[in-house]
Chains A and B, each alone.
Chain A
Amino acid sequence: MTEIIVVTSGKGGVGKTTTSASLACGIARRGKRVAVLDFDIGLRNLDLIMGCERRVVYDFVNVIQGDCTLKQALIKDKRIETLYVLAASQTRDKDALTQEGVRRVLDELTADGFDYIICDSPAGIEKGAHLAMYFADRAVVVVNPEVSSVRDSDRILGLLASKTHRAEQGNGGVKEHLLLTRYSPKRVASGEMMSVDDVKEILGLDVIGVVPESQDVLTASNAGTPVILNEQSEASQAYEDAVARLLGESKPLRFIEEPKKGFFARMFGG
């Protein structure tokens, strides 16, 4: 059975694309067939993060408009056998996507036997974001521990609960998960940043992962290697935990408290 997961946030720049790429890699590394779709038509980024920008021939809009087949447009990842990317169009705008077109693409991926389809939503609450979430079974709402991101996430959660196919059908709605990114335990401890518990309480949802603020994320983006593949990084381990939880395993949250490293750990990078 295919599961469609939308990665969304409302607010821009919180780490949706980074999260989409890492979750897709993490799930695919476990042997599942995964397609990750960029819904940010006109501001195509996922291909960069995935490191396949120079292999984009056809994109999402081409498929919808029938310029090519879905098979031609799907870009096979070079690192992970079971992972495919569908890039957004850089030259069009979001009106090029239609609900019917998106449904056709998702149906075709489902018929093709993909286990997971990750929809990387654009920021905002307009058409692109709406279509990215519309057919989702589950949603990963990416939130930074700061007030504007939390409020925008609340808004998105409201839309997930009302403006999705599952909500309209009334069959339980979209299953929602929170994923905190750019979390800095040090700043939380000093009272400059909202804590995991603050965010959980305001949004009334459980947290599926907390990704610490890390230099490795930017480095990974620039290198076109999803950060989850840099296994030395705490961000990678946090995403790996999130993948595990997404697939139903239970893991305690890590990296939410300031590390208390001993002398040797500091010396030898323990």
Chain B
Amino acid sequence: MNKPAEAVRSPASTAPLEIRFGQVGLAQVRIRTTDPGAILDELTGRVATAPHFFERTAVCLDLSALEKEPDVAEVRAVMDAVRRAGMLAVGLAHGTAAVDALARALDVPVLTYFRPQNRPPPVLQPADPQELAVPALMHHTPVRSGQRVYARHRDLVVTSAVGAGAEVIADGCVHVYGAVRGRAVAGARGDVTARVFCQEFYAELVSVAGVFRVFETIPAELAGKPVQAWLSGDDLHVARIGG
């Protein structure tokens, strides 16, 4: 068992119990048959190769490789065979709704969220165009002084520098993977959740949804650093990313 990743402590140490969450290693047994005899033979052979490793080890049954959904009795027989081989089946691997029903009937948990791999992938329905993400406006050359780049109804991604006196504007977010010496305006039509991101901050002005800040002098902790700007209430925050 790994060290607990997180512990929910009760307020008093005298509480009758303590719940701790953590991660455990768990063997997964994917069965391709529900024949208990075949399963017992195979598992016994495997356990014999490493008895200490497999003894009373907790395993999770993965039913996804079976050709048809097994019934409760079949699964119970399989779990019995596993126990006789020296291991303990403690739950079923997450799968279809039928697996959920089986787990409930057997009173065992559905354990992992491994995706069943032997099923054909679900057929993707073409999405409603309205739901597709609007691609960002990409700009790969320097935005020079006096130039203005505007991304209407979407994000703007600039992979070069924005010169002093230049303006990069988007109705969505503004991302600049270079130095910004000019103006960066996000949420130009009032989206208060829009943000400005830039790799090297030297901007003259930053604005989100009409709230702006002018940088007559650039704070030393921001100059040349990766910075983002966002709105919180009526306040425009400008801060380093990851620092």
Interface residue ranges, A against B (CB under 8 Å)? 125, 151-152, 154-155, 157-159, 161-162, 201-204
Q: In the docked arrangement, what's the CA distance between A162 and B148, Å?
A: 12
Chain A residues within 8 Å of B147, by CB: 158, 162
Q: Report the separation of the CA atoms of residues A210 and B143 in the bound assembly, to the nearest whole angstrom.
A: 25
Asked, given contacts A162-B147, A202-B181, whether A154 binds B164 with beta carbons under 8 Å apart, the answer is yes
CB-nearest residue of chain B to A162: B147
Q: A162-B147, A202-B181 are in contact. Are A154 and B141 (CB under 8 A)?
A: no
| Alpha-carbon distance between A162 and B149 when the two chains are bound, in angstroms | 12
A157 contact from B144, B164, B178, B179, Cβ within 8 A: B144
Which residues from B are CB-within-8-Å of A154? 144-146, 163-166
Answer whether residue B142 sits at the interface, using C-beta atoms and an 8 A cutoff.
yes
CB distance from A169 to the nearest CB of B (A): 16
Given A202-B163, A204-B160, A204-B161, decide whether A151 and B142 contact each other with a Cβ distance below 8 A.
Answer: no
Closest to B200 in A: A201
Ranked nearest first, the 5 interchain pairs of A and B with the lowest CB-CB distance are A158-B144, A154-B145, A155-B145, A154-B163, A158-B147
* Most chain A Cβ neighbours within 10 Å, of B142, B143, B160: B142
Q: Which parts of B120-149 form the interface with A (CB within 8 Å)?
A: 141-147
Binding site for A on B (CB under 8 A): 141-147, 160-161, 163-166, 178-179, 181
Could you tell me the distance in whole angstroms from the C-beta of B203 to the nearest C-beta in chain A? 14
B142 touches A155 (CB 8 A): no
| A155, B161: Cβ atoms closer than 8 Å | no
Considering the complex, give the chain B residue whose CB is closest to the CB of A10: B145
Q: A161-B141, A202-B163, A204-B160 are in contact. Are A155 and B146 (CB under 8 A)?
A: yes
- The smallest beta-carbon distance between B138 and chain A, in angstroms, is 16
Q: What's the Cα separation between A202 and B181 when bound, in Å?
A: 9
Chain A residue, CB-CB nearest to B178: A204
CB<8 Å pairs between A and B, sample of 24? A151-B145, A151-B163, A154-B146, A154-B166, A155-B144, A155-B146, A157-B142, A157-B144, A158-B143, A158-B144, A158-B145, A158-B146, A161-B141, A161-B142, A161-B144, A162-B147, A202-B163, A202-B164, A202-B179, A202-B181, A203-B142, A203-B163, A204-B142, A204-B178
Q: Can you name 19 extra interface pairs (CB under 8 A) apart from A154-B163, A159-B146, A202-B161?
A: A125-B146, A154-B144, A154-B145, A154-B164, A154-B166, A155-B145, A155-B146, A155-B165, A157-B142, A157-B144, A158-B143, A158-B147, A161-B144, A162-B147, A201-B179, A202-B164, A202-B179, A202-B181, A204-B178
CA distance A204 to B200 in the complex (A): 14
CA distance A151 to B141 in the complex (A): 17
Contact partners of B181 in chain A: CB under 8 A: 202
Roughly how many angstroms separate A154 CA and B142 CA in the complex, as a whole number?
9
A124 CB to nearest B CB, Å: 13
With a CB–CB cut-off of 8 A, which chain B residues contact A162? 147
What residues of chain B lie closer than 8 Å to A159, measured between beta carbons?
144, 146
Contacts of A203 in B (CB 8 A): 142, 163
Residues in B with CB closer than 8 Å to A158 are 143-147, 163, 166
B183 nearest CB across to chain A (Å): 14
Write the nearest CB–CB distance from A126 to chain B, whole angstroms. 13
Determine how close the nearest CB of chain B comes to the CB of A160; give it in whole angstroms.
9
